[in-house]
Amino acid sequence: MDLKNKNRIIFTSVRIGVAAGLILYLGTSGMIRWTSLLNLLPAWPLMSFAFLLFFGEVVVSGLRLIILLRAHRIFLSLSSAIRLTSIGIFFNIAMPGATGGDLVKIYYVIRGSDISRTKVTTIVLLDRIAGIFALMILPLLIAPFFLKTILASDILITLILIALCCSLILVASMLIAFSEQVNNARFLIWLFKRPLLGKYLKWVFDTIHIYRNQKMSLLTAVLLSLIIHIANLFVILLITISIAPGSFSWLLMIVAPMGFIANALPLTPGGLGVGEAAFSSLFNIVGLNYGAEVLLGWRIIMALVGLIGLYFYLKGRHQYIHQLSAPTVSLGADK
């Protein structure tokens, strides 16, 4: 075993250990009331609706990937996009890492095709970035409806400012990548001519630069991401009502996105432990309980959807994408 693999194993083991430690601490300190999760069983009608909403997010996520691939004249059907997204969710759960699902998705996308692996990897990364960007701006869009609550909490103000700064950084980064002056800069030309990495960096830059003339594709991807995150908020509401009947509050709409931002940080596999701690603290800020339990309920819904991905994985593999020879794209099933 080489040094790189050893370091990866050590790093992954540390992250798993941190996640386990956080969950153990939350459980022993009383911040997680494990018995409250039993309330999800009699609330199966609400949980069934939450499951359908979550699966709807899978469908919309598939559409987002289709649109981003189409800008490069790469065809992916809706049925294949749903399978890929479901398989990605399963491996996000099964593999100890935040990017396990993305890596598997990239593998399946390029399997059996002659399309550049670097190009596909970059597009899948943009797919993830579109989702993160929408998650950052969602609290900014919701904040005006809860100004009084936000201004009364230094933590919420800080989190809103962090979301704003991260959003501006992402926008600035994309504008730089779109710039023709940057594209023709001497430094980049020199960098792209370097052995090994230079070639791959040019492929990455060119892949992103194409969206300069496909801004509507990026905008649509962000709008679809907002739809996904809004649906996710309603999933959280349904789980909260199921765990603690009578605890409905629209304040969840402002704290839940910030909890998911913390959950997205690659500190532990899938944000396990970190997300629960963040949800517990944020729920308490607005006078709500069961934050950690609500996120655990969300993870249960995610695991159920992941079983669909497991089914698609066991069903077998085939070629998912094709290079378009015509500008039209069908969203129908594979032929």
Assess if residue 6 is contained within a domain.
no
Assess if residue 26 is contained within a domain.
no
Assess if residue 11 is contained within a domain.
no
Assess if residue 94 is contained within a domain.
yes
Domain count, the chain: 1
Do residues 46 and 242 touch, judged by C-beta distance below 8 A?
yes
State the pLDDT confidence band at 131, using cuts at 50, 70 and 90. Answer: very high
Assess if residue 34 is contained within a domain.
no
pLDDT at residue 327 in the model:
41
pLDDT tens figures, 184-242: 777 777 777 777 667 667 767 777 777 888 889 889 999 999 999 999 999 999 999 99
Looking at every residue in the chain, the average pLDDT score rounds to: 80
Range with the poorest average pLDDT among 153-157, 248-252, 268-272: 268-272
Assess if residue 22 is contained within a domain.
no
pLDDT at residue 18 in the model:
59
Assess if residue 265 is contained within a domain.
yes
pLDDT at residue 53 in the model:
96
> Which residue range(s) make up the domain with 259?
39-320
Q: Who wins on pLDDT, 241 or 93?
A: 241
pLDDT at residue 240 in the model:
92
Residue written as token pair 């497991």: 310
pLDDT tens figures, 165-187: 999 998 988 888 787 777 777 77
pLDDT at residue 46 in the model:
93
- From the CB of residue 93, how many other CB atoms can be counted at a distance below 10 Å? 21
